[in-house]
Chains A and B, each alone.
Chain A
Amino acid sequence: MTSKRIVLHFPHRLVDQPIVYKLVKDFDLSFNILKASVTPQEEGLMVLELSGSEENFDKGVMYLQSCGVKIQPLSQDVVRNEAKCTDCGVCVPICPTLALTIDSATRKVSFDDAKCIACELCVKICPTRAMEVHF
């Protein structure tokens, strides 16, 4: 079993095709959509947690790539800008997955991107806008 959070970028020509459906039907993968949007230019973005057997997961990813979908791991997309963060910790209780925590000794904030589901709740509530999203 493997389970990864990935970001899919769908080019314009694929927006009207049932790609994710094929992941389930042909590759027996399960998914949990964390975020999905289609921009006015009709480029699609989807953040999902994809799970299944290792073999099927790899096949599924190969299928996505063969269709022209760009794939990147989610962890690269949400970033805590350390130069901007003041370690106040106002984001900590807002984060639904405990990806943002404050160290009890140093009182410094840390961000565990493996736990992040890219809900972006922290982004706008950060007073210095230190949480950045680079989809």
Chain B
Amino acid sequence: MKSIKEINERIKKGQVVVATAEEIIDLVAKKGVARASREVDVVTTGTFGPMCSSGAYFNIGHSKPRIKVGGGTCKLNDIPAYCGLAATDIFLGATALPDDDPRNKVFPGEFKYGGGHVIQELVSGKDIRLEATGYATDCYPRKKLETLINIRDLNEAVLLNIRNCYQNYNVAVNLSDKMIYTYMGALKPRLGNANYCSAGQLSPLLKDPHYRTIGIGTRIFLGGASGYIIWHGTQHNPMVKRKDNGVPEAPAGTLAVIGDLKEMSPRWLLGSSMLGYGVSLSVGIGVPIPVLDEEVCASAAVRDEEIYARIVDYSVAYPQMNPESLGEVNYAQLKSGKITVNGSEVPTGALSSYAKAKEISQELKSRIQKGEFFLSEPQAPLPGAESGYTCRPLKERPFFST
């Protein structure tokens, strides 16, 4: 048994032993769980992929004379930002598009530029065009503002993602006769390809399946800087069926995270365009798992072969909310390049970059070893498998105006 406090002492003294979520697999196989859990203090995970519920909020500072952008309108490089807040606070969502983007009118739409790209350019230090309007008040008389802004001049620039790090995800296929364009990529007709989106054995919540160490207040690697888990993510669904090792068989837990955009890097925050679907932001996240005991260690040593995902048809079943699955495969099979679905061999592709996830796990490991990153004590747990907390579909209730 170890405590986070003891681990932090070891980080301070330069004695900490860190293994990435890949390395711990071999260590446990070689030394056994008991010895590995005594020897290793921290396991570092990582994931990198498009995370649509990403966004950022800014305080742009007060102009002279003042303008109340709150309740007015605001655009950053033509991308509308939300300004139903105080005078100079704005929120930009990753999937926001310019008003004149053709969307899917010419199908499939290309979605070349949106909120995710603005966030990437801001983080890269590029100037951004801000165009805002206000309705004028006695204390905020100005009606129009057009200026270049730069992240270094903003009072606050904070990445705020309300759903990241899905604990497992679907494998998407297409049973129809035509090509379909989804957030899981382009899916060729008649089982032409199968796309998945998880770092598998490197993915944070798959290595701590019952959220024993990952909770509200956990300090994480976010976009190249340090950030925090601030809540469970939207659509958090911890009660899905799990295997004996605790790993969910379907999309389950999620995280809401926050961090200082000014300290982040465009290496880990990339605007992404999903053909026929929209814009997103690819985000790099790494979560350290303190090896408190053998159970934590055993969970962190779960391999791709032991993590199963459901195969879902995205031509009918997914859009129509039919829960049926075409079977399950593990991440080792997915990574082999082909899987078998309905008796036919299907080539696989990934949206989540395993290479980048691995880099994040190594980067976080090195920061902890150098004493640049300390673990934090979670302040409250995430709703778990026994919590009764579920993600429910929308129950539509028609309304009638009289």
Which residues from chain A sit less than 8 Å from chain B, CB to CB? 86-94, 102, 104, 106-108, 124-125, 127-129
Contact = CB atoms under 8 A, between A and B. Distances in A.
Contact of B195 (A90, A102, A128, A129): A90
A104 B356 contact: no
Nearest to A92: B349
Contacts of A87: 353-356
A94 B273 contact: no
B348 interface: yes
Interface of B: 48-50, 108, 110, 112, 185-186, 188, 192-195, 270-275, 280, 282, 335-337, 347-356, 358
Contact of A86 (B186, B335, B347, B353): B353
B354 A128 contact: no
A89 B401 CA distance: 50
B355 A106 contact: yes
B186 A88 contact: no
A89 B349 CA distance: 6
B349 A94 contact: yes
A15 B348 CA distance: 42
Contacts of B195: 90, 93
B2 to A, nearest CB: 31
B35 to A, nearest CB: 27
A92 B335 CA distance: 12
A92 B358 CA distance: 19
Given A86-B353, A94-B186, A107-B355, A127 B348 contact: no
Contact of A127 (B50, B354, B356): B50
A125 B275 contact: yes
Contacts of A102: 337
Contacts of A129: 112, 273
List 3 A-B pairs, minimum CB-CB distance, nearest first. A93-B193, A127-B272, A93-B347
Contacts of B185: 90, 94, 125
Nearest to B116: A127
A32 B353 CA distance: 36
Contacts of A88: 49, 350-353, 356
B355 A108 contact: yes
Contacts of A90: 185, 195, 349-351
A91 B282 CA distance: 16
Contacts of B353: 86-89, 107
Contacts of B355: 86-87, 106-108
B193 A94 contact: yes
A124 B109 CA distance: 10
A119 B337 CA distance: 22
14 contacts: A86-B355, A87-B354, A87-B355, A87-B356, A89-B353, A89-B354, A90-B185, A92-B347, A94-B185, A94-B349, A104-B336, A107-B335, A107-B354, A108-B355
A92 B192 CA distance: 12
Contacts of A128: 270-273, 282
B349 A93 contact: yes
Nearest to A122: B186
A99 to B, nearest CB: 14
Contacts of B280: 127
A75 to B, nearest CB: 24
Given A94-B193, A107-B358, A127 B350 contact: no
Contacts of B49: 88
B274 A127 contact: yes
Contacts of A104: 335-337
Contacts of A125: 185-186, 275
Given A90-B185, A93-B347, 9 more contacts: A86-B356, A88-B350, A93-B348, A94-B186, A94-B349, A127-B282, A127-B351, A128-B270, A128-B271
Contacts of B348: 92-93
B338 to A, nearest CB: 9
A106 B194 CA distance: 21
A86 B194 CA distance: 19
Nearest to B110: A124
Nearest to B279: A127
Given A107-B354, A124-B110, A86 B193 contact: no
Nearest to B338: A93
A89 B270 contact: no
Contact of B270 (A86, A91, A93): A86
Contacts of A108: 355
Contacts of B271: 128
